[in-house]
Amino acid sequence: MPNIKSAIKRTRTIARKTAANKMQKSKIRTLLKKTQSAEAAAEGRVLDLARQTQKMLDQAAAKGHLHKNNVARKKSRLAKAIQTPKA
């Protein structure tokens, strides 16, 4: 437990930022899972979900929630999964 006033404030700030980052990452994971399940079920809303997922990934990279290379990899895999025809 910090004793210095500024360290106490930083602890609170870090806790807020950690919570925001976790929430954002959770939203992204949920949206990725929804997109993958819709793609597996061959639903018509796959493209809308994919666009929404890519937008959220880009925003996460811009805000620093995820690394830009991590986002690029996720977007690439998502696009590849959508383009691959199912048998």
pLDDT of residue 86: 65
Rounded to the nearest 10°, the torsion over CA 13, 18, 19, 23 is 140
Dump strand ranges (E) for the chain: none
Residue ranges and CATH numbers for the domains of the chain are 5-83 (1.20.58.110)
pTM: 0.80
Evaluate if residue 7 carries a pLDDT over 90: yes
Q: Name the average pLDDT for the chain.
A: 92
Q: Is the model's pLDDT at 43 over the cut of 80?
A: no
- Per-residue confidence (pLDDT) for residue 70, from 0 to 100: 97
pLDDT value of position 40: 85
